[in-house]
Amino acid sequence: MNLFRFLGDLSHLLAIVLLLLKIWKSRSCAGISGKSQVLFAVVFTARYLDLFTNYISLYNTCMKVVYIACSFTTVWMIYSKFKATYDGNHDTFRVEFLVVPTAILAFLVNHDFTPLEILWTFSIYLESVAILPQLFMVSKTGEAETITSHYLFALGVYRTLYLFNWIWRYHFEGFFDLIAIVAGLVQTVLYCDFFYLYITKVLKGKKLSLPA
């Protein structure tokens, strides 16, 4: 554990809490991509199947439980509790174009050809592109609510901090995970344009708007 990883985890947790609060307080999931949230639920499920077999620390176990529980709660809110407010007409990204290639890549490029390791690798690859349906939805509608923008920004900060975490671990621990680093870089790059718009618009009190 180092400061970058801890702050990255906090930023990730903040993003999830912001999203849940947004949906619950507004009683609406308008502007939220259900497909992205389903992908994140798949990511956490595949990654943390070792929950009952591989104990690392109380902190690690608690974070795993929180991520899984929150992801499925979000999916439940979107597709059940507040289904009437879900904008499925704009949430049209073809997720099979993300799931199938990342699953195939996980079989071909992994650290160890075992079921849990392949699933972990699949979760890393899928997480790097899981936000695409949400970004696609924002570009399709042309704008995003401020709270949704905060959620996306917090997710981007989480991935950026994790890149610094990998640099720290390589420098001080000699640890190097090419799969996680490359996937993290891909995910961070996807947020770059959004970062610029967030800083130049949202932080100045303007609504984030994109060309449709």
Distance CA(74)–CA(29), nearest Å, equals: 9
> Which of 142 and 43 is assigned the larger pLDDT?
43
Residue 142 within a domain: yes
Residue 58 within a domain: yes
Residue 109's φ and ψ, nearest 5 degrees, are -125, 105
Q: Which residue segment(s) compose the domain that 201 sits in? A: 3-206
What are 209's strand-pairing partners?
Answer: 143
Per the CB < 8 A criterion, the answer to whether 77 and 29 are in contact is: yes
pLDDT over 90 at 47, yes or no: yes
Which pLDDT band, with edges at 50, 70 and 90, does 210 fall under? low
> pLDDT, tens digit, for every residue of 92-127?
999 999 999 999 999 999 999 999 999 999 999 999
Looking at the chain, the whole-number percentage of residues with pLDDT higher than 70 is 93
Which pLDDT band, with edges at 50, 70 and 90, does 207 fall under? low
Residue 212 within a domain: no
pLDDT over 60 at 48, yes or no: yes
Average pLDDT of the residues of the chain: 90
Residue 32 within a domain: yes
Interval 152-178 mean pLDDT = 91
For 107-181, where are the E strands, in sequence order?
A: 143-144
pLDDT over 90 at 191, yes or no: no
Residue 112 within a domain: yes
The total of structural domains in the chain comes to 1
Residue 211 within a domain: no
